[in-house]
Amino acid sequence: MGVRIHVLGAGSILPRAGYGCAGYALVLDGSDDITLLDCGPGSIRNLAAAGLRVENVKRIVFSHYHLDHCLDLFALIFARRNPTVKFAHLSVYGPVGLRRLIEDTPKGLGHYAVDSDIEWNEIEMDARGFGRFRAAGMRFTGAANGHCGEAVSWRIEGPGGGAEKGSTPDWCLAYSGDTGDNPVVARIAKKADLFLCECSFAEEEAQPNHLTPLQAGRLAATAGARKLVLTHFYPSLRPEDAAARAADVFDGPIETARDGSTHLPDELPAE
């Protein structure tokens, strides 16, 4: 079973046409169900432009709770109050901090930010910094990456594998979330068919808690990822320049995300 990623937001919190706050819709072939990887401001609105229906959002998986990655959770909760649309049951997953987000936000936003029909799953990382869950036949493995206290990168293995030891999933994706240059990200993206990796600033503007194009490319090369998709561009970084720098250190195909772009795992070579 194949999978595709629709980019809902390929930028940062700073306004830039075509590059909204972080949000990605993961859709399995033959299914209308949507799994959102992060859900920053504008993600819900951009579902329509991607040809996706808001009522089909079945789960959200957060990488962390910086506002450019999570605020549209409450836009979705408010949308779900609309009596004319029949919404799917919604499950939300994220690292520690999710419960506080859910419980404390309504103190400011009021009952509009409450949805008692949503299932919350706060995923704790173990002593080694890894946490796991399964949903819709997919296996999610998170790794604490140090971008901020709770931040994790996610590895997502598709249906068709993982249940028995040694079995092979149909595909494997990795999503860096926001991260610094941390080797655990290469581990989480090991041999991923598609590695969706943040690439915030050019080398000359490098920040400790974000990646530059060269850092993203090196992580992809270390991981042995089959395809690199660069995203989370701040306004000063031109995506085409980022791809060119990353290509200095990563030999595989590189794509750049933009709001509305779609990305598929790299095809396995014919036997």
Question: Residue numbers of the site for Zn ion (CB under 5 A)?
Answer: 66, 68, 178
Distance of closest approach, residue 114 Cβ to Zn ion, in angstroms: 25
Distance of CA 60 to the CA centre of its chain: 9
Tell the residue number behind the tokens 């270390």, with chain if given. 222
**Of 167 and 207, CB closest to Zn ion:** 207
**Of 28 and 92, CB closest to Zn ion:** 92
**Of 135 and 206, CB closest to Zn ion:** 206
Distance of closest approach, residue 92 Cβ to Zn ion, in angstroms: 18
Tell the residue number behind the tokens 């293995």, with chain if given. 157
Distance of closest approach, residue 161 Cβ to Zn ion, in angstroms: 30
Strand order through the sheet with 57-61: 118-123, 90-95, 57-61, 34-39, 23-28, 3-9, 262-263
**Of 56 and 209, CB closest to Zn ion:** 209
The sign of the torsion formed by the CA atoms of 136, 162, 192, 66 equals positive
Distance of closest approach, residue 147 Cβ to Zn ion, in angstroms: 6
Distance of closest approach, residue 96 Cβ to Zn ion, in angstroms: 15
Compute the distance between CA of residue 154 and CA of residue 132 in angstroms, rounded to an integer.
9
Distance of closest approach, residue 134 Cβ to Zn ion, in angstroms: 26
**Of 136 and 148, CB closest to Zn ion:** 148
Buried-state track 175-210, b at ≥16 Cβ within 10 A, e below 16 = bbbbbbbbebbbbbbeebbbbbbbbbbbeeeeeebb
Distance of CA 34 to the CA centre of its chain: 12
**Of 139 and 232, CB closest to Zn ion:** 232
